[in-house]
Structure 1
Amino acid sequence: MSDAANEDVKFSLKVMVNKDKTKVLFAEADPHFVDILLSFLTLPLGRIIEFFDNHYKGEETPSIGSLTNFSRSLDNLADAHFVTEDAQQALLYVNSSFEDAYKCLKLDISNSQSAKYFCCFLTSHGSIPCVSIYYDNLTCKVCGNTMRKEAAERPSIAASSDGVFVKSKASFTISGDLQIFPNEIGLLSFITLLGITDAHEAQEIQVSFGFNEIMDLLKASLTSPTPLSDLILRKKTKSSTAAISMHEIVNEINPRCRNLSLKLMIRKSTGELLYAQAQEDFVEFLSGLLTIPLGGLEHLQAGKSCFKAINNLYRSTAELDDKYFKTSETKKRLMNPHLPHGCISPNQILPLTEECLPAEYIDDLSLFSSVAFPEGQGRYLERPTTYLVSDNLTVTPYFTASALCRMNKEKIPISDVEEMQLQIGLKEALSILKASLTSTTTALSDALLNAYPSHKRQKK
Structure 2
Amino acid sequence: MTGSSSASTNISIKLLIDVSAKKVLFAEASKEFVDFLFNVLTLPVGTVIKLLKKDSMVGSLGKLYDSIENLSNTYMQPNQSKDVVLNPKMSNCGANVPFLLPNADAAMDKKFYRCRGDSSHNYVTHDPTGMCPSDCGYKMSTEVTFVAGNDAVTVATEGGGFVKGVVTYMVMDDLVVKPMSTISSITMLNTFNVKEIGSLQEKVVSVEMKEGLMLLKASLQCKNVLTSVFLS
Deviation for aligned residue 1:110: 5.4
Please list, as runs of the form range in 1=range in 2, the aligned pairs for 1:275-290 lying within 5 A after superposition.
none
Q: What's the counterpart of residue 186 of structure 2?
A: 188
Give the CA RMSD over aligned residues: 3.2
Are positions 1:19 and 2:14 aligned together?
no
Of 191, 202, 223, 2:200 maps to: 202
Of 141, 144, 167, 2:134 maps to: 141
Of 159, 175, 178, 1:162 maps to: 159
| Separation of aligned partners in 2, 1:62 and 1:102 | 27
CA contact (8 A) 1:14 1:29 kept: yes
CA contact (8 A) 1:17 1:202 kept: yes
Runs of at least 5 residues in structure 1 that lack an aligned partner in the other structure? 235-460
Deviation for aligned residue 1:35: 0.7
The residue type equivalent to 2:215 in the other structure is L
SS at match of 1:162: coil
| Separation of aligned partners in 2, 1:36 and 1:131 | 32
Q: What's the counterpart of residue 48 of structure 1?
A: 48
Are positions 1:109 and 2:105 aligned together?
no
CA contact (8 A) 2:13 2:27 kept: yes
CA contact (8 A) 2:17 2:26 kept: yes
Deviation for aligned residue 1:9: 2.1
The residue type equivalent to 1:70 in the other structure is L
Bigger RCO (CA 8 Å, 6+ sep): 2
* Structure with the greater alpha carbon radius of gyration: 1
The residue type equivalent to 2:201 in the other structure is Q
SS at match of 1:104: coil
Are positions 1:83 and 2:77 aligned together?
yes
TM-score normalised to structure 1 length:
0.43
CA contact (8 A) 2:110 2:126 kept: no
The residue type equivalent to 1:233 in the other structure is L
TM-score normalised to structure 2 length:
0.79
CA contact (8 A) 1:62 1:219 kept: no
SS at match of 1:43: coil
| Separation of aligned partners in 1, 2:6 and 2:49 | 20
CA contact (8 A) 2:28 2:170 kept: yes
Are positions 1:226 and 2:224 aligned together?
yes
Please list, as runs of the form range in 1=range in 2, the aligned pairs for 1:366-445 lying within 5 A after superposition.
none
Change (3 A) 1:229 1:215: same
* Aligned residue pair count: 221
SS at match of 1:139: coil
The residue type equivalent to 1:132 in the other structure is V
Aligned-residue sequence identity (percent) comes to 25
Runs of at least 5 residues in structure 2 that lack an aligned partner in the other structure? none
Change (3 A) 1:15 1:199: same
Are positions 1:10 and 2:24 aligned together?
no
